[in-house]
Amino acid sequence: MVVAALLTLFLVIVIPIYWKTYGWQNFLWFSDVGLFITTAALWLQSPLLISIVALTILPVELLWNVDFLVQLVSSRQLTGLSSYMFDSKYSLFIRALSLFHCVLPVIIVIYLAQWGYTSTALPYSIFLACSVFLLTYFFTDPNDNINFVFAPQSLHWHRMPALAWLSILILTQLILIIVMHAVLKAVFA
């Protein structure tokens, strides 16, 4: 319960700050969705919710951490996921709040080890991923490129239709979820 209380306190601090700094749409980033669901999972002590987060969010969180570490050590971007952490237009305090990305995967893995992996998370994770991508596509500003759904526009890929790119993102995420399902089933079930 201590970790749940700490995450809740963090959310009480971060929600108004992020809302003011980035806007409500920022909460559609997979990592933010994962933070909310993880907090709920801990309060409810729900193996299903932590399994959903592990399937849908854990790969993104791990990639964010690799990207951050590579850029921190070498000043080179790997994916651009964490590039805002090195953007001085945001205060150091605002950027420091995003260090939750470093802690969240640890919390997810600890509670997976404690509670086990629930295989029934698979369809919920697929639904969650598709919903987040569609909500992001239809309700966010293309200039923000949340979850990279507007990459063709922001990277000037003139030959890539927007909906084709969205389909590629969804399909890639679904493949990741299925792979994670197999891995987590083998490791934590």
How many domains are there within the chain? 1
**What is the torsional sign of CA 160, 140, 43, 8?**
positive
CA distance 106 to 126: 22
28-46 confidence digits (pLDDT tens): 999 999 999 999 999 999 9
CA distance 26 to 15: 10
46-91 confidence digits (pLDDT tens): 999 999 999 999 999 999 999 999 999 999 988 889 999 999 999 9
Give me the numbers of helices (H) and strands (E) for the chain, helices first please.
Answer: 9, 0
Quick check: 100 and 115 in contact, CB under 8 A? no
Q: What pLDDT, on a 0 to 100 scale, did the predictor assign at position 77?
A: 87
Quick check: 68 and 103 in contact, CB under 8 A? no
Average the pLDDT over 146-155 and give the result: 91
Residues 6 or more apart from 74 whose CB is under 8 A from it?
Answer: none
Query: Dihedral, CA atoms, 66, 7, 147, 63, nearest 10 degrees?
Result: 10
Average the pLDDT over 11-20 and give the result: 97
DSSP 126-148: HHHHHHHHHHHHHHS-TTT-GGG
Helix or strand holding residue 32 (H, E): helix 30-44
Domain of residue 154, residue span? 2-188
pTM assigned to the model: 0.93
pLDDT higher than 80, residue 119: yes
Residues 6 or more apart from 2 whose CB is under 8 A from it?
Answer: none
Distances (CA, A) of 59 to 16, 103, 182: 27, 14, 13
Residues of the chain above pLDDT 90, percent: 92
